[in-house]
Structure 1
Amino acid sequence: MPDDQSAIPARDAKRLFAGLAGAPAILLAVSGGPDSVALMWLAARWRRALAQGPRLVAVTVDHGLRPEAAREARDVKRLARSLDLPHHTLRWTGPKPGTGVPAAARAARYRLLAQAARKHGATHILTAHTRDDQAETLLMRMLRGSGVAGLSAMARETERDGVLLTRPLLDVSKAQLIATLKKARIGFADDPTNRDRSFTRPRLRALMPMLAAEGGDTRNLARLAARIARANAALELLVDGAEHYLALKSEDNSGAGFDAALFAVMPEEIRVRLLKRAIDRVGHEGPAELGKVETLLAAMDEALVGTLGQRESKLKQTLAGAVISVAAGRIRIGPAPPRRARSR
């Protein structure tokens, strides 16, 4: 890639979308800001250079949180038409939460994008997350005490609601995208919420120049996230092997539990992941929080000390819609009964 202050040349833009030429259709998430407008312009230029390629459909989500959003969606539509791309505006309707608005808006946005992708026969949704976004995500998760998986930050490609969510610009800086748009003389919107310090991400963004002066620039932070992602992938392979080993050594084929003694001698990180994986598989209240899984493992370890010391020690707890028990040298994890509705 070129330096952060220069436009992205066509040869590098082509590499951004490598592997996507065989898709039947691709949905482009375009808010109107510089990152997503650059994504749309680069993707359209890439598609024009192909003899045959996927249909591109641009989509803007209006969250109904800012009066300027409708005008920005219309501006995206005009630009999309100039690039010979169809455009659709999706609206997040209904009541909005009093707190946690960014997270709720993000969930609504991805839900609407997945619905639009299925409607248009798109196998991929392209978002314009940049290297800057990756660095900020890493910092946010570090401050929240995330585990190795969380510190991997954003992957280039993940599956969501049956569609592949792809981030082709993760190695590209925001400055490069703005330089690219300026060279092409393409305008873009300025969302003031990106500077609103009542939200976490803009506060961290304001700290980035000071971090960069100490060596913590976006390039180094994104490189750290990539290295953690590499370590996380290796750990997941080890967990796969440990899970298979426990299944082979199980006393029965029910898949309902595993031998406590074999589980007890495994490294703590592997045990945490095995436990979380089993709970997420059978629970019915969403993914288990890492901190709660760690607390549960500590309680299990106390019970296992008694079990392996030949004295009867039992444990039975529920977490994330799963019931976890330790008894007679076995760990069992199964679905918990539904919670009863509280009477008023």
Structure 2
Amino acid sequence: MTNPAPWQKVRNAIESAWPVSGYRDLGVVVGCSGGADSVALLRSLVESVRHPAAPSPPRGFIVVAHFNHQFRGRESHADAEFVRQLAEQLAVPLETKCGQGVEQDEESARNDRREFFRTVMRRHGARYLTLGHSRDDNVETVLYRLMRGTGPAGMAGIASFRPFSDDPSGSDFVIARPMLDLGRDQIREALRSINAPWRDDASNRSNAYRRNWIRNELLPTMQSQFPQAVPAIARAIQGQRQWLDALQPVIDRWLVAVQIREKPLTLRRLDRIGGEAETDPTATPLRDQAVAIEALRRCWQRSGWPLRDMGQFHWTRVFEMLSGRGPDALTLPGAIEIRRDSWAVTLVRRDG
């Protein structure tokens, strides 16, 4: 049977971003809240894996994972029941977990979900965690970062594919977000075209969370003057993502030249590195601030240090210390302490 055009367009976009050949023989965990985006993602992946024209049966599997924060009482439990019924309808296994039901900030709630997803992936031996973030989510994320003083990398938005984490326990897992080119309204229209229901989270209408304020207040105001604001910002994000991807080999070379050891993280002072780095135009630009800051971000990720409160101001301070300017000691968000001696800069996170 031919799919309705709106649904087929969504299916084609997901297939283009993440061809089924890349996961049909591997394990995939689908994070599903019951909302439209994650429901569309789950339905699309199941259809792709079970497509009757496939040359052979899939050797992989799909598992649905639903974390019930219990923030909204009966509504939260109704979401969980909806996902249970959806998993049963699609004949895919379901993993669920309940939180404590205590209101949390956005980051704490996100960390709870991540740990749950990590546990599910380990239990099933999955390779991928796939999430239904849309183009609108990406734009909202960049606006949120922009107002917190992000740098160029923050303007690159959400990566389509990235390691679950940089520490050894999560480096073999990959997060896939194949819906970043799809708009929120487009996804809902597609689901309506196949009479597929979803759950609406009433808390998304509350501006208690800053991201909701961006969605409910800021973006509509921008669109009242610039109706194509979301796709326009999305195009800018794509350009930034291309810039960041092109920068990765340069960051690799910067770390080889500058990093002395990982534990404790010790970096050579840039003002003490001379020779070829100063005279060869093809050498890695060690003293380029943009390159250095992106290399420092990677060091933070590898060390498992919190990035959320590190704004461009803080990265600039670290770069200045590496360059021999500013104070010889500094404490950054996340209890990261930096000390500079005559040849190197050492960074340590103080617990407690």
Q: TM-score range by the shorter chain?
A: 0.7 to 0.9
Percentage of identical aligned residues: 22
Query: Residue 17 of structure 1 aligns to which amino acid in structure 2?
Result: W
Corresponding residue of 1:31? 33
Distance 2:150 2:288 in 1: 19
Residue 224, structure 1, aligned to residue 245, structure 2: no
Q: Does 2:97 align with 1:90?
A: yes
Residue 243 of structure 1 aligns to which amino acid in structure 2? L
Residues 237 and 231 (structure 1 numbering): CA distance in 2 closer, same or farther, change over 3 Å?
same
1:171 aligns with 2:195: no
8 Å Cα contact 2:130/2:176 also seen in 1: yes
2: distance between equivalents of 1:194 and 1:244? Answer: 45
Residue of structure 1 equivalent to 2:344:
331
User: Is 1:127 matched with 2:127?
Assistant: no
Paired residue for 2:282? none
The residue aligned with 1:17 is: 18
1:145 aligns with 149
Conserved 8 A contact 2:322-2:345 = no
Q: CA deviation at 1:23?
A: 4.2
Shift of 1:55: 0.8
Question: Counterpart of 2:135 in structure 1: which amino acid?
Answer: R
User: What is the Cα deviation at residue 191 of structure 1?
Assistant: 0.5
Q: What residue number does 1:297 align with? A: 319
1:210 matched to which residue of 2? Answer: 221
Correspondence for 1:272 among 263, 288, 293: 293
- Aligned 8 A contact 1:17 1:43 in 2: no
Q: Give secondary structure in 2 for the equivalent of 1:119.
A: helix
Deviation at 1:167, TM superposition (A): 0.6
Aligned 8 A contact 1:279 1:322 in 2: no
Counterpart check, 1:79 vs 2:86: yes
What corresponds to 2:62 in structure 1?
A: 56
For normalisation by structure 1, the TM-score amounts to 0.80
Moved more, 87-96 or 71-80: 87-96
Moved more, 119-128 or 158-167: 158-167
**Count of matched residue pairs:** 315
The change in CA–CA distance for 1:87 and 1:289 in structure 2 (over 3 A counts) is same
1:218-237 Cα offsets, whole Å, 9 max, x none, are 22211211111121223333
Is 2:328 the counterpart of 1:315?
A: yes
Alignment partner of 2:195 out of 165, 185, 197: 185
Kindly state the Cα deviation for residue 96 of structure 1 after the two structures are TM-superposed: 4.7
Pair 1:43–1:262, CA change in 2 (3 A) = same
Q: Secondary structure at the match of 1:64?
A: coil
**Equivalent residues of 2:258, 2:267 under 8 A apart:** no
SS at match of 1:154: coil
- Note if contact 1:321-1:335 (Cα within 8 Å) is conserved in structure 2: yes
Larger mean CA deviation between 60-69 and 290-299 belongs to 290-299
The alpha carbon displacement at 1:11 in A equals: 4.5
Secondary structure of the structure 2 residue equivalent to 1:125? strand
The change in CA–CA distance for 1:326 and 1:276 in structure 2 (over 3 A counts) is farther
Report deviation, 1:260. Answer: 2.4
- Segments of 5+ residues of structure 2 without an aligned counterpart are 165-169, 279-286
Distance in 2 of aligned mates of 1:289 and 1:132? 24
TM-score normalised by L of structure 2 = 0.78
Tell me the distance in 2 between the aligned counterparts of 1:278 and 1:87.
36
What amino acid maps onto 1:188 in structure 2? W
AA aligned opposite 1:189: R
Matched residue SS, 2:153 = helix
**Structure 2 CA distance for partners of 1:105 and 1:156, relative to 1, 3 Å:** same
Larger Rg: 1
1:35 and 1:257, CA in 2 relative to 1: closer, same or farther beyond 3 A? Answer: same
